[in-house]
Amino acid sequence: MKLKNKRLITGLLLLNTLFSNAIADDELRLPDMGDSTGTLISPLQEKALGESFFRSIRAQLDISYDPDIQNYIQYLGQNLVTNSDNPSQAFYFFVVLSDDINAFAGPGGFIGINSGLILTSESESELASVMAHEIAHVTQRHIYRAYEASSR
- pLDDT per position as a tens digit, 83-118: 988 899 999 999 999 999 999 999 999 999 999 999
**Residue 70 host element (H or E):** helix 67-81
- The residue-averaged pLDDT of 23-32 equals 50
Is 17 a residue whose pLDDT tops 50? yes
Between residues 110 and 21, the one the model is more confident about: 110
Strands 110-114 and 92-96: parallel
Q: Determine the Cα angle at 24 with ends 19 and 29, to 5°.
A: 125
**Which of 134, 99, 133, 125 shows the shortest CA–CA distance to 114?**
99
Give the chain's count of helices (H) and strands (E).
Answer: 6, 3
Write down the mean pLDDT value for the chain.
Answer: 82
**Which of 80, 97, 98 shows the shortest CA–CA distance to 89?**
80
- The residue-averaged pLDDT of 15-34 equals 51
pLDDT digit string (tens) for 29-67? 545 545 555 567 888 989 999 999 999 999 999 999 999
Contact 96, 76 (CB under 8 A): no
pLDDT at 99: 98
Q: Determine the Cα angle at 144 with ends 50 and 32, to 5°.
A: 115
Concatenate the DSSP letters of all residues of 76-97 into one string: HHHHHHTTSS-TTS--EEEEE-
Tell me if the pTM is above 0.75.
Answer: no
In angstroms, the CA 139 to CA 99 distance is 27
